């Protein structure tokens, strides 16, 4: 019984300097922790076979499936503003690409599968905790409707990895519409390899942006479209309270998916300055700073593409600037439209921006929980006698009352009835997010007690984030003061 992967490997067909051919390092005794059954089916893979001992060996890098052409991709990147000309997949190996049920090409990559020529001083491995964190949060993001890489499987390797202490080792099978990053472009640009930049750009256009191929200036249109997708992604992050934590250029996907879940986390009470990552001491990647950082990263991409725009450098720069100027427009439009949806507004008025901002300001001042405020506000759409749950989220409930009076005046001008507004609001304001204390509890139980029941339960509740699940309603609750997790750590 062999596991069949219908691989078609286009990245491995690019020139040899785009990657290093390297196979995963076999591990002693792999054990399947989780297989994402529906995702396997969507990818055209047989989940029964993947869950078999042979499938587990593949997911652990112990056995190579037929048709795989395993590579570690080369890339560079700005890490916290400092340029590193060579990073690359130091602990990830791309097995190959498959076409999913929607006709979209997907990379299948093992993360934590052993050293590669890009490992530098790293061991090429991953610990169980970060693998579970990425599994939970990426799948939660997908269920929330946010573009993201997916998690196909998690296996334990049976070996320990040495971090500050010895930890159980694990491998995540990650699925992405591609693993091409801003840093991939930087790798070639930093070497003055304009032909490499062009070949990469052509590959990206064919794979992710085919509609730009026939435009008058395809590379300029490519930059515009990457910018638009990132701007829309960043709006989605802010609207859901997500903090990536390590928005380096090597963690910025060209396809517009959320990628490289490290010390990421969701905000509990609303505070635009929220930072979780232990290594982000200056708050460079704080919640509200994220759009600015995305633009900074896209500016690095634009610099790489300049030689493709025009031989006239001034002309090339002005083309890049005009594309970058669109970021703010696309981001603001997406963010404001999203806020209007969160407030249950069906029409747009200029004053809506101030209405939304005043709620956010009141939430910040009153330590109101971000997710629950909008969820309970959805119920308050039925009328003031449904206010009690949302108003008690505010340190000073009067701050809510004042704002709610204005909100009701505004919604009263629209023809939709209260029930319609509530339904529309509940469809965009989730009740369940991967709260940090829950994620930490999952990791603690798995790592210290080999207990995966909490992991399974959290995945279940997060698979339907917009539906009330009365039996699991405790998962909607913010942490008690003693449960609050203030810092998250990188996967390395």
- CA 417 to chain CA centroid, Å, is 35
Binding status of residue 90 toward ligand AMP by CB under 6 A: yes
Residues lying near Mg ion in the complex (CB under 5 A) are found at: 251, 260
Rank residues 89 and 97 by Cβ distance to ligand AMP and give the closer one: 89
Residue 314 CB burial class (10 angstroms; 0-12, 13-18, ≥19): exposed
Binding status of residue 260 toward ligand AMP by CB under 6 A: yes
Question: Total residues at the site for ligand AMP (CB under 6 A)?
Answer: 19
Place of tokens 């993001």: 141
The rounded distance, in Å, linking the Cα atoms of 451 and 438 is: 14
Exposed e or buried b for every residue in 119-157, given b needs 16+ CB within 10 A?
A: beeebbbbbbbbbbbbbbbbbbbbbbebbbbbbbbbbbb
Rank residues 107 and 369 by Cβ distance to Mg ion and give the closer one: 107
Residue 86 CB, nearest distance to ligand AMP (Å)? 9
Rank residues 57 and 260 by Cβ distance to Mg ion and give the closer one: 260
Whole-angstrom CA distances from 453 to 38, 149, 253, 438, 459 are: 20, 24, 32, 12, 10
Tell me the two tokens of residue 298: 């896209």
The rounded distance, in Å, linking the Cα atoms of 210 and 208 is: 6
Rank residues 89 and 387 by Cβ distance to Mg ion and give the closer one: 89
Binding status of residue 245 toward ligand AMP by CB under 6 A: no
Binding status of residue 326 toward ligand AMP by CB under 6 A: no
Residue 251 CB, nearest distance to ligand AMP (Å)? 5
Residue 40 CB, nearest distance to ligand AMP (Å)? 25
User: Which residue among 250, 268, 280, 387 is the active-site one?
Assistant: 250
Stretch near ligand AMP under the rule CB under 6 A, chosen from 3-11, 84-92, 365-373, 439-447:
84-92
Stretch near ligand AMP under the rule CB under 6 A, chosen from 62-70, 117-125, 172-180, 406-414:
117-125
Tell me the two tokens of residue 144: 């929330």
* Dihedral-angle region of residue 34 (phi above 0 means left; psi in -120 to 50 means alpha; beta otherwise): beta
Rg, the chain, Cα only: 23
Residue 259 CB, nearest distance to Mg ion (Å)? 8
Residue 163 CB, nearest distance to ligand AMP (Å)? 9
Q: Would you list the DSSP string of 144-173?
A: HT--B-EEEEEEEEEEEEESSSEEEEEEEE
Rank residues 92 and 431 by Cβ distance to ligand AMP and give the closer one: 92
Q: Which does 89 bind (CB under 5 to 8 A by kind): Mg ion, ligand AMP, none?
A: ligand AMP
Rank residues 411 and 492 by Cβ distance to ligand AMP and give the closer one: 492
Stretch near ligand AMP under the rule CB under 6 A, chosen from 88-96, 199-207, 288-296, 402-410:
88-96
Residue 93 CB, nearest distance to ligand AMP (Å)? 10
Which 125-144 residues touch ligand AMP, going by CB under 6 A?
125
Residue 133 CB, nearest distance to Mg ion (Å)? 14
- Rule CB under 6 A: choose which of 45, 73, 87, 175 binds ligand AMP: 87
Binding status of residue 123 toward ligand AMP by CB under 6 A: yes
Whole-angstrom CA distances from 196 to 190, 311, 317 are: 11, 17, 20
Rank residues 276 and 400 by Cβ distance to ligand AMP and give the closer one: 276
On the CB side of 169, CA atoms within 13 Å amount to 22
- Rule CB under 6 A: choose which of 246, 304, 316, 359 binds ligand AMP: 246
Whole-angstrom CA distances from 334 to 328, 429, 470 are: 10, 16, 32
Stretch near ligand AMP under the rule CB under 6 A, chosen from 10-18, 89-97, 170-178, 454-462:
89-97
Which residues is 476 bridged to in the sheet? none
- Rule CB under 6 A: choose which of 88, 241, 256, 338 binds ligand AMP: 88
Q: Would you list the DSSP string of 385-433?
A: GG-HHHHTTSSSHHHHHHHHHHHHHHHHTS---HHHHHHHHHTTS-S--
Rank residues 452 and 489 by Cβ distance to Mg ion and give the closer one: 489
| Residue 250 designated active-site | yes
- Rule CB under 6 A: choose which of 122, 283, 383, 395 binds ligand AMP: 122
Residue 474 CB, nearest distance to ligand AMP (Å)? 32
Q: Would you list the DSSP string of 11-39?
A: GGGS-GGGEEE-PPPP-SS-EEEEE-HHH
Question: Which has the closest alpha carbon to 276: 394, 437, 448?
Answer: 437
Stretch near ligand AMP under the rule CB under 6 A, chosen from 4-12, 115-123, 330-338, 405-413:
115-123
Catalytic residue list: 250
Can you give the binding site for ligand AMP, defined by CB under 6 A? 87-91, 118-119, 122-125, 246, 250-251, 260, 262, 490-492
């Amino acid at each position: 019984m062999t596991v069949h992967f219908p691989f078609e490997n286009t990245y491995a067909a690019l020139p040899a300097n785009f990657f290093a051919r390297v196979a995963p390092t076999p591990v002693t005794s792999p054990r399947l922790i989780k297989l994402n059954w529906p995702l396997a089916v969507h990818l055209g893979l047989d989940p029964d076979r993947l869950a078999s001992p042979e499938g587990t060996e593949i997911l652990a890098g112990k056995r190579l499936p037929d048709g795989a052409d395993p590579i570690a991709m080369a890339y560079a990147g700005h890490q916290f503003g400092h340029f590193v000309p060579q990073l690359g997949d130091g602990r990830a190996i791309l097995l190959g690409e498959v076409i999913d049920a929607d006709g979209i090409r997907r990379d299948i990559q093992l993360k934590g599968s052993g050293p590669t020529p890009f490992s530098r001083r790293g061991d090429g491995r991953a610990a169980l905790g970060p693998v579970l964190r990425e599994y939970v949060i990426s799948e939660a993001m997908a269920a929330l409707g946010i573009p993201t890489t997916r998690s196909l499987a998690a296996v334990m390797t049976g070996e320990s990895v040495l971090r500050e202490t010895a930890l159980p080792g694990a491998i995540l099978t990650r699925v992405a519409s591609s693993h091409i990053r801003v840093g991939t472009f930087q790798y070639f640009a930093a070497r003055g390899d304009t032909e490499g930049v062009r070949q990469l750009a052509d590959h990206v256009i064919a794979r992710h942006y085919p509609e730009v191929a026939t435009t008058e200036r395809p590379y300029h249109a490519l930059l515009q479209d990457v910018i638009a997708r990132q701007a829309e992604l960043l709006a989605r992050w802010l609207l859901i309270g997500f903090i990536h934590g390590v928005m380096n250029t090597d963690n910025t996907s060209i396809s517009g998916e959320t990628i490289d879940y490290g010390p990421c986390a969701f905000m509990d009470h609303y505070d635009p300055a929220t930072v979780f990552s232990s290594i982000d001491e200056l708050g460079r990647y704080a919640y509200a700073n994220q759009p600015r950082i995305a633009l900074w990263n896209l500016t690095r991409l634009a610099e790489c593409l300049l030689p493709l725009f025009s031989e006239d450098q001034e002309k090339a720069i002005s083309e890049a600037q005009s594309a970058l100027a669109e970021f703010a427009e696309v981001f603001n439009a997406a963010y404001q439209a999203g806020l209007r949806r969160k407030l249950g507004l069906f029409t747009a008025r200029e004053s809506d921006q101030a209405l939304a901002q005043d709620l956010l300001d009141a939430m910040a001042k009153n330590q109101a929980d971000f997710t629950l405020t909008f969820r309970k506000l959805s119920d308050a759409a039925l009328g003031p006698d449904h206010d009690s749950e949302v108003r008690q989220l505010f340190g000073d409930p009067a701050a809510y009352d004042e704002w709610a009076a204005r909100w009701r005046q505004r919604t009263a001008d629209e023809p939709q009835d209260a029930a319609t507004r509530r339904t529309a609001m509940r469809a965009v304001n989730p009740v369940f997010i991967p709260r940090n204390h829950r994620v930490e509890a999952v990791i603690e139980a798995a790592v210290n007690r080999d207990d995966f029941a909490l992991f399974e339960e959290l995945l279940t509740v997060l698979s339907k984030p917009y539906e009330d699940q009365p039996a699991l309603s405790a998962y909607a609750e913010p942490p008690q003061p003693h449960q609050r997790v203030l810092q998250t750590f990188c996967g390395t």
